[in-house]
Amino acid sequence: DAGVIQSPRHEVTEMGQEVTLRCKPISGHDYLFWYRQTMMRGLELLIYFNNNVPIDDSGMPEDRFSAKMPNASFSTLKIQPSEPRDSAVYFCASSLEQETEAFFGQGTRLTVV
């Protein structure tokens, strides 16, 4: 398996624009997670899905952020409108079952200017 695949690897956008980050989990994994990494807050969980259903979105910072998982092999994280403080590295991860090892994608480095 190619592992968790994220796209794009880098994204530079202007404030106010819509940004969509994409993730393909490892085939057969039932759990998908979105994390954000910043210098100030470290690595923090934004939202996670089980069998394509959002389970916990308490980490989503505000209504400008939304995430979807239309099928078992694809998820998106959307920011609309984007702001400079959204600049961060966004990671997607997946795991096979509950309380099992999670594997991370290479991340998307987002810069909002």
102 backbone dihedrals φ, ψ, rounded to 5° = -100, 145
Q: Which is nearer to another protein, 45 or 72 (CB)?
A: 45
Query: Least distance in Å: CB of 48 to another protein?
Result: 6
Is there binding between residue 5 and another protein (CB under 8 A)? no
Is there binding between residue 44 and another protein (CB under 8 A)? yes
Is there binding between residue 31 and another protein (CB under 8 A)? yes
Considering only residues 53 through 72, tell me which ones interact with another protein, judged by CB under 8 A: 55-56
| 21, 33, 34, 110: which one binds another protein (CB under 8 A) | 33
Query: Least distance in Å: CB of 16 to another protein?
Result: 27
Query: Least distance in Å: CB of 81 to another protein?
Result: 26
| 48, 69, 75, 86: which one binds another protein (CB under 8 A) | 48
Distance between CA atoms of residues 41 and 101, nearest Å:
23
Distance between CA atoms of residues 50 and 7, nearest Å:
21
Distance between CA atoms of residues 10 and 89, nearest Å:
9
Pairing mode, if any, of strands 108-112 and 10-13?
A: parallel
The answer for residues whose C-beta is within 8 angstroms of residue 15's C-beta and 6 or more apart is 81, 82, 83, 84, 112, 113
